[in-house]
């Protein structure tokens, strides 16, 4: 672990312009610097670096952060690795805290396994240059259309026919037998003899996300059917098959730049497409697609195109992959190649432009793919068509984003000429069952592990929740008073009526929460100099922007509804309340340079962009920043209160549809009271028409 004082020194020393210029050619534009973004392809520069704020921001792809965030993003390093990179750049010595003997032993063992694996890789590469390797292995690679540069770049090799060749060479170089066995490179028999797992095969090394060789795949060139076509490394301490993708080390940069990943099945599919010039291609070789593999892709892009063979096996594999990718929140398309072709053979038959044109012409979204496929089977049979529609609806239900679900449901409704409400009902029912199954699975896992309850799996935005209780009502209790009002609104508790709320119906709430955070992160420690005639004036105390917002929210019993915004809010005040007190720029810098990169990026976003203020109409009459703050901050609070009241009114109105006769009158009374509060707030905001 890097000591905190060393971390602070690294972060204070690192200059954003200096760091970014190591990777990108910057040009000064006013107070900032500009360049074409290194994270996506563009011809017009939209990547800005602000020396004064110490942040970068691309207005094209949206990536933003500080110097340490840039290094993490560009080189796909961990927080600790990025800090060490910056320390080396600026000549800062990093002496990590003392680790326990167990930690040291574990790290040394892991490194020993990696060193053995990398030794084996060099051995296989050098074996390809022997007479045997050239005659058999190299000849095979060339017969598959691989150029010598591709063979070299991707580290392809040859495992000699002698089944003890690697073991003998490794032992002679001082490598321990234990590590040869534990990496899966060798097998130890009951009689104590040691033999190579890989022999008489061409070798495909598997790289980790950071470029280390962690495993191997070996293909036999024999026609003997009793010999397994492929032999792969077993799972080890350094190799988790379900968490590895072949080609990811070489593909990740282009995946990020092009914002797309092509998913294929085999080693040669990856190699041939990379050689052709399509380098954002990876394979789940040796295993069916897994959730960790999908999440690894998601680090670089949310757009996946599955490119499998056009035969029945390829179609089934594509169908399996669709659900997995969708459930993780990625966008998925499918390209099926002509029957008899795979990505390897197809890319060797065609030019780069021809392959790109084919993909563009044949890429289908999953709705079209499944519909075309299943309709051909269903024909005019109404029962089969109904099953098809239910199958499509169940697939849509896997999508975590409610807006995307709605768009796909509308498209399917039009495609099948069916009432969209019928589809939505099926999707809602399927999704409720899926979420319930997830909760039960989490409970089973909790009971197995003996851990304390920490909450069920959180539903995604837009999911229909069960009837809320007083404890979990999303808008809490609205018991505070609007600024300038003497009478607080009547308490409204969730237990008075069960309602279902979709936050996507209230798109204006997020900008209101974002605006409050923007004031906190930009001007949190600035004091609000209210005039004596202001309802917020106090002769005894001057509030900072942060304190004023916090007090208003606390008095109203509010917490921010957006999970990410709430995290940023809590992070800020944790540092704001620290002793000794931290300056505003220290607080913001600590968040932006922290290990939580999602929070860091969001904080940079708040500083980088000028948000469309919901109270923007008042800006024209104002000049000085303090004057803007004493006007904008209270009105931002009022806007937020207004949005929360609107949410309550909408919820009450929705509850009328299912309310019993005796409850209707009381609900209407509540609606009337909240409409009165809404009107008063609108008057304060100058919004009465």
What is the dotted CATH code of the domain comprising 4-89? 3.90.580.10
- pLDDT of 453 above 80: no
Mean predicted confidence (pLDDT) in 471-483: 30
Mark 585-612 as b/e (b = at least 16 C-beta within 10 Å): eebbbbbbbbeebebbbbbbbbbbeeee
Q: How far is CA 409 from CA 342, 424, 502, in A?
A: 32, 7, 17
Is the separation of the CB atoms in 635 and 618 below 8 Å? yes
User: Which two three-digit tokens encode residue 394?
Assistant: 């169940």
Class of domain 243-362: alpha beta
pLDDT score at 465: 30
pLDDT score at 483: 32
Which of 6-10, 85-89, 479-483 comes out lowest in average pLDDT? 479-483
Q: How far apart are CA 360 and CA 108, in angstroms?
A: 48
Q: List the one residue out of 459, 463, 458 whose CA is nearest residue 427.
A: 463
Dihedrals phi, psi of 58, to nearest 5 degrees: -105, 120
Q: How far apart are CA 248 and CA 56, in angstroms?
A: 26
CA 465 to chain centre: 24
pLDDT score at 153: 94
Q: How far apart are CA 248 and CA 214, in angstroms?
A: 13
Mark 187-219 as b/e (b = at least 16 C-beta within 10 Å): eeeeeeebebbbbbbbbbbbbbbeebbbbbbbb
pLDDT interval class at 178 (50, 70, 90): very high
CA 156 to chain centre: 32
Most confident of 183-192, 238-247, 269-278, 501-510: 269-278
Per cent of the chain over pLDDT 90 is 25
Q: How far apart are CA 12 and CA 499, in angstroms?
A: 50
pLDDT interval class at 646 (50, 70, 90): confident
- pLDDT of 479 above 60: no
Greater confidence (402 vs 538) lies with 402
Mean predicted confidence (pLDDT) in 618-622: 40
Q: How far apart are CA 630 and CA 634, in angstroms?
A: 7
pTM for the model stands at 0.57
DSSP type of residue 137: I
pLDDT score at 626: 61
Q: List the one residue out of 260, 244, 334 whose CA is nearest residue 296.
A: 244
Which of 42-46, 333-337, 502-506 comes out lowest in average pLDDT? 502-506
**Coil, helix or strand for 541?**
coil
**Which tens digits make up the pLDDT trace of 424-436?**
899 889 888 888 8
Mean predicted confidence (pLDDT) in 302-318: 78
DSSP type of residue 99: P
Q: How far apart are CA 599 and CA 296, in angstroms?
A: 20
Q: How far apart are CA 626 and CA 544, in angstroms?
A: 11
**Which tens digits make up the pLDDT trace of 557-604?**
777 888 888 889 988 988 888 777 788 888 888 888 877 878 888 888
- pLDDT of 556 above 90: no
**Coil, helix or strand for 378?**
helix
Angle at Cα 610 formed by Cα 74 and Cα 43, nearest 5°? 45
Q: List the one residue out of 266, 272, 275, 264 whose CA is nearest residue 305.
A: 264
Mean predicted confidence (pLDDT) in 135-163: 96
pLDDT score at 218: 95
Question: Angle, to 10 degrees, between the axis of helix 625-655 and the axis of helix 545-556?
Answer: 20
The set of residues, in sequence order, having a beta carbon less than 8 Å from that of 644 and lying 6+ positions away, is: 475, 478, 509, 556, 558
Is the separation of the CB atoms in 677 and 492 below 8 Å? no
Q: How far apart are CA 77 and CA 60, in angstroms?
A: 23
Mean predicted confidence (pLDDT) in 307-331: 79
Greater confidence (256 vs 34) lies with 34
The set of residues, in sequence order, having a beta carbon less than 8 Å from that of 620 and lying 6+ positions away, is: none
pLDDT interval class at 269 (50, 70, 90): very high
Mean predicted confidence (pLDDT) in 464-473: 30
pLDDT score at 214: 94
pLDDT score at 445: 58
Where along the chain do its domains lie?
4-89, 110-239, 243-362, 376-435, 494-684
Mean predicted confidence (pLDDT) in 68-88: 87
- Torsion sign across C-alpha atoms 628, 54, 543, 561: positive
Per cent of the chain over pLDDT 70 is 84
CA 520 to chain centre: 26
Dihedrals phi, psi of 642, to nearest 5 degrees: -60, -45
Mean predicted confidence (pLDDT) in 189-194: 88
pLDDT interval class at 176 (50, 70, 90): very high
**Coil, helix or strand for 514?**
helix
Q: 110-239: which CATH topology?
A: DNA primase DNAg catalytic core, N-terminal domain (3.90.980)
CA 628 to chain centre: 36
**Which residue carries 């892991």 as its tokens?**
110
- Distance spanning both ends of the chain, measured CA to CA: 60
Q: How far apart are CA 645 and CA 671, in angstroms?
A: 10
pLDDT interval class at 281 (50, 70, 90): very high
- pLDDT of 368 above 50: yes
Q: What is the mean pLDDT of the chain?
A: 80
pLDDT score at 508: 60
User: Which two three-digit tokens encode residue 634?
Assistant: 């209270």
């Amino acid at each position: 672990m890097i000591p905190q004082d060393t971390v602070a020194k690294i972060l204070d020393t690192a200059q954003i312009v200096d760091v970014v210029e190591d990777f990108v050619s910057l040009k000064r534009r006013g107070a900032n610097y500009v360049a074409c973004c290194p994270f996506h392809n563009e011809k017009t520069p939209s990547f800005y670096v602000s020396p004064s704020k110490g942040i970068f921001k691309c207005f094209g792809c949206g990536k933003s952060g500080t110097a340490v965030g840039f290094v993490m993003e560009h080189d796909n390093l961990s927080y600790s690795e990025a800090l060490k990179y910056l320390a080396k750049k600026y000549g800062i010595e990093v002496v990590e805290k003392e680790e326990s003997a167990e930690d040291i032993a574990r790290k040394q063992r892991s490194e020993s396994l990696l060193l053995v694996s990398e030794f084996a890789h060099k051995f296989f590469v050098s074996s390809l240059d022997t007479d045997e390797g050239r005659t058999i292995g190299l000849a095979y690679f060339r017969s598959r259309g691989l150029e010598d540069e591709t063979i070299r770049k991707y580290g392809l090799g040859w495992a000699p026919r002698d089944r003890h060749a690697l073991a003998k060479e490794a032992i002679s170089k001082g490598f321990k037998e234990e590590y040869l066995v534990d990496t899966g490179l060798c097998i130890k028999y009951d009689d104590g003899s040691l033999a190579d797992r890989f022999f008489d095969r061409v070798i495909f090394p598997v790289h980790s996300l950071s470029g280390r060789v962690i495993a191997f795949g070996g293909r036999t060139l024999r026609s003997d059917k009793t010999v397994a076509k492929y032999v792969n490394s077993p799972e080890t301490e350094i190799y988790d098959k379900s968490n590895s993708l072949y080609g990811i080390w070489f593909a990740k940069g282009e995946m990020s730049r092009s914002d797309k990943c092509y998913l294929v099945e085999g080693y040669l599919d990856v190699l041939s497409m990379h050689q052709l010039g399509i380098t954002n291609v990876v394979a789940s070789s040796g295993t069916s697609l897994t959730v960790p593999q999908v999440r690894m892709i998601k680090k670089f892009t949310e757009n996946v195109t599955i490119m499998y063979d056009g035969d029945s096996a390829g179609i089934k594999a594509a169908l399996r992959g669709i659900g997995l990718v969708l459930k993780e929140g990625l966008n998925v398309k499918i390209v099926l190649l002509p029957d008899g072709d795979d990505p390897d053979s197809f890319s060797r038959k065609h030019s780069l432009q021809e392959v790109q044109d084919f993909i563009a012409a044949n890429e289908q979204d999953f709705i079209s793919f499944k519909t075309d496929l299943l309709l051909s089977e269903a024909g005019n049979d109404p029962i089969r068509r109904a099953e098809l529609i239910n199958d499509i609806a169940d697939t849509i239900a896997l999508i975590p984003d409610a807006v995307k679900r709605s768009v796909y449901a509308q498209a399917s409704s039009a495609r099948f000429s069916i009432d969209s409400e019928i589809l939505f009902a099926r999707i809602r029912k399927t999704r409720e069952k899926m979420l319930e199954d997830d909760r039960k699975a989490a409970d089973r896992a909790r009971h197995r592990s003996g851990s304390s309850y920490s909450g069920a799996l959180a539903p995604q935005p837009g999911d229909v929740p069960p009837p809320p209780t007083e404890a979990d009502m999303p808008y809490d209790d609205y018991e505070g008073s609007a600024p300038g009002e003497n009478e607080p609104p009547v308490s409204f508790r969730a237990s008075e009526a069960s309602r279902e709320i979709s936050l996507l119906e209230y798109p204006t709430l997020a900008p209101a929460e974002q605006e409050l955070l923007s004031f906190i992160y930009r001007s949190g420690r600035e004091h609000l100099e209210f005039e004596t005639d202001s309802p917020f004036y106090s002769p005894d105390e001057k509030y900072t922007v942060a304190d004023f917002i916090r007090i208003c929210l606390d008095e109203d019993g509010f917490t921010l509804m957006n999970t990410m915004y709430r995290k940023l809010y809590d992070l800020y005040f944790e540092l704001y309340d620290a002793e000794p007190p931290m300056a505003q720029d220290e607080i913001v810098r600590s968040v932006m340079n922290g290990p939580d990169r999602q929070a860091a990026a969001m904080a940079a976003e708040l500083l980088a962009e000028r948000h469309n203020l919901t109270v923007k109409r008042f800006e024209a009459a104002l000049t000085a920043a303090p004057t803007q703050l004493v006007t904008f901050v209270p009105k931002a609070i009022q806007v937020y209160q207004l949005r929360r009241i609107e949410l309550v009114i909408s919820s009450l109105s929705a509850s009328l549809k299912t309310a019993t006769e005796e409850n209707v009158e009381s609900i209407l009374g509540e609606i009337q009271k909240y409409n009165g509060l809404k009107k008063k707030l609108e008057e304060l905001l100058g919004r009465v028409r």
